[in-house]
Structure 1
Amino acid sequence: MALIFWLIAVSCIIYYVVIVFYSGLTTSLSFIWLMFAAVCILLPLGWETYVKHKEKIPLWIPVSVITMCCTGILVFMVVEFLVFTGVAARDASNLDYVIVLGARVKETGISKSLKKRLDKAIEYADENPSVILVLSGGQGADEPVSEAAAMRDYLVFNGVNEEQLILETRSTSTVENIAYSRVAIEEDQAERKARRQNNPIFMEPGTFAEVPDKPIKIGVLTSDFHVYRAQQIGKKWGIPDIYGISCGSDPVLFVHFCVRECAAILKDKLVGNM
């Protein structure tokens, strides 16, 4: 059993080295793999110590440790199951608005994650030419421009009509992405309604009946591991029937992203963001 834990620890350390060098020291929470390695090393050492000194160590200590570990594994499995349910999304064609979530912009250009999201947005816009894409992402301290501006430049360069784009440049987190994008959509709807009222179509009385505005359909486009959290935040922040559109993610960093997403979901649930 100790050998298994040591092998897991070595695997965690190797993966940490791989993702740090692969991502250029920019991947957040990469240190979590060193924490996993430390736990895998300490658990068999602790058990060995307990077996040798049973008479000195109260039983509640190993029971508590085992209970915490089992609970952590169970919670992780449940959350990861929910993460993967976001990938198996319902049909999201013919949406009125799609919120495209931003990702890191480097001095040398957009990141791999953001490129995958934008390529998916181009594909969706080609298949649904009436959609409005809400490009959501502010400018971080280490970013040369706002994520939304970089996204616009990439999409326009690749043939997307600029009139189909709305920029949301204030957000710095997924919660703000959704909240500010909802405001941008509401403002766009109000502008469209005002234009219709300023350019009325005159018809003879009795030849028409006024109907309520058609409910708008909104989706969120992001990386596969991120769809579930984005949808749940959308439901919490005023978009109850939000559709999910997923794109692929970096295969080398995919496992890390899934583990990191588990921590993000637990945090957002704890603070009431979802």
Structure 2
Amino acid sequence: MPAYAPAALLFLVFCVSVLRERRRFSNAVILGLAVLCALGALLYRLARSGSPSVPYVVGALAALAAVALLVLVCFLFLNGVRMLRKEGRSPSNLLSLLAALAILGVVALLATAAVVRTPVLIGLATAAGGLALYFAFLFLCFVCYAFLYGRLRVRRRADFVVVLGSGLIGGSTVPPLLAGRLKRGRAVHARLTGRGGSPVLITSGGQGPDEDLPESHAMADHLIAQGFPAHLIEREDRSTNTEENLRYSRAIMEKAKPGYRCVVVTNNYHAFRAALTARRVGIRGQVVGSPTAAYFWPNAMLREFTAILVDYRQSNAAMCVIIVLGGVAAWYAA
């Protein structure tokens, strides 16, 4: 059992950290490390058991990993093609396709280095493999914890429901994605009202250069047309991105009620990153997500993950430098 002590300790740290503040990316990393330590302890005990089935188990795990990698590449490639057909050829819609090509590139480099075994290829393969493992680990941590975060229950008391905006169709029409956010916002508002509260719903979004009116006004009109009381809507119409959505909405809430609590509504793929941003700007509340079309989700999660890497660019850059230096060391040692 001592082999499982690091995993147990990390899981305890994870639980304490979530209880103190659930909106931290470090929670995702700690959970991932706990799982890695648990798997390492399991493999260690299996190897120490001396069972004749150990080679077969290891072979089966290796084969399963290879098949999973092949399935992942095919899935990302097909999803990338579908994104291009449905959403257009913008750079953000290429992420699934680029991820599939990156995985194939790293696998090809590792296979070539294993066969040719020149110092340069060994160094490049070491660096590329290390970077791939690092980003794959972070991505899995992000996806798993984002899934868990999205299933945390909304606190019983909230004074505001903030719905984050997105682009309008034709400059004035609420698109289906934003309509889904507004529907979830109404559901959260109804639940809080049913518990005896009287929250105000804030529609948050400014006016883009290709829009005829601020997003928040179009969102409010959409809600009112569906029967939502107009006097319970507050419009935040200055923001141009998620951080400004939250900063300007916070100013409205603090002015109306300094000790406020709120629930922020966005799409499910965006909920965890919005929660990280909410913590950074000092929002007192939780973020919940509305459903997103299945084909859109993989590419959107990759986009959110890329944005989080940029948000934590200093620590990620430091880790990348260390990994690349490891590749240089392998080059010299070969």
- The normalised TM-score by structure 2 is 0.66
User: Measured at CA, do residues 112 and 93 of structure 1 come closer, stay the same or move farther in structure 2, by a change above 3 Å?
Assistant: farther
Find the aligned partners of 1:26 and 1:140 in 2 and give their Cα distance.
Answer: 21
- The question of 1:117 aligning with 2:181 is answered yes
- 1:102–1:147 CA contact under 8 A, matched in 2: yes
2:109 pairs with one of 46, 57, 60? 46
Structure 1: give runs of 5+ residues left out of the alignment: 190-212
SS at match of 1:249: coil
Matches within 5 A, 1:97-136: 97-107=160-170, 109-129=173-193, 130-136=198-204
Find the aligned partners of 1:90 and 1:5 in 2 and give their Cα distance.
Answer: 34
SS at match of 1:138: coil
Shift, 1:159, TM fit:
1.0
Shift, 1:4, TM fit:
7.4
| Corresponding residue of 1:13 | 77
After TM superposition, which residue ranges in structure 1, 4 or more long, deviate above 4 angstroms?
1-10
Give the number of equivalent residue pairs: 246
- The question of 1:144 aligning with 2:238 is answered no
- The question of 1:247 aligning with 2:316 is answered no
Shift, 1:5, TM fit:
6.1
| Corresponding residue of 1:159 | 227
Shift, 1:183, TM fit:
0.9
User: Measured at CA, do residues 52 and 227 of structure 1 come closer, stay the same or move farther in structure 2, by a change above 3 Å?
Assistant: closer
- 1:95–1:131 CA contact under 8 A, matched in 2: yes
SS at match of 1:59: helix
| Corresponding residue of 1:221 | 265
- The question of 1:68 aligning with 2:131 is answered yes
Q: Which has the higher helix share?
A: 2
Find the aligned partners of 2:68 and 2:276 in 1 and give their Cα distance.
Answer: 37
- 2:113–2:121 CA contact under 8 A, matched in 1: no
Find the aligned partners of 1:26 and 1:152 in 2 and give their Cα distance.
Answer: 31
- 1:179–1:237 CA contact under 8 A, matched in 2: yes
- The normalised TM-score by structure 1 is 0.79
Deviations 1:140-174 (A, max 9, x none): 22333221011001100011111111111111111
| Corresponding residue of 1:236 | 280
Q: In terms of mean alpha carbon deviation, does 60-69 or 159-168 score higher?
A: 60-69
| Corresponding residue of 1:258 | 301
Q: In terms of mean alpha carbon deviation, does 222-231 or 111-120 score higher?
A: 222-231
- 2:164–2:265 CA contact under 8 A, matched in 1: yes
Structure 2: give runs of 5+ residues left out of the alignment: 1-62, 316-334
1:172 pairs with one of 240, 263, 266? 240
Paired AA for residue 231 in structure 1: A
- 2:96–2:298 CA contact under 8 A, matched in 1: no
- 1:6–1:41 CA contact under 8 A, matched in 2: no
| Corresponding residue of 2:312 | 269
Shift, 1:10, TM fit:
4.4
Find the aligned partners of 2:90 and 2:152 in 1 and give their Cα distance.
Answer: 27
- 1:87–1:228 CA contact under 8 A, matched in 2: yes
Paired AA for residue 219 in structure 1: V
Find the aligned partners of 2:148 and 2:187 in 1 and give their Cα distance.
Answer: 22
Shift, 1:19, TM fit:
1.6
Shift, 1:264, TM fit:
1.8
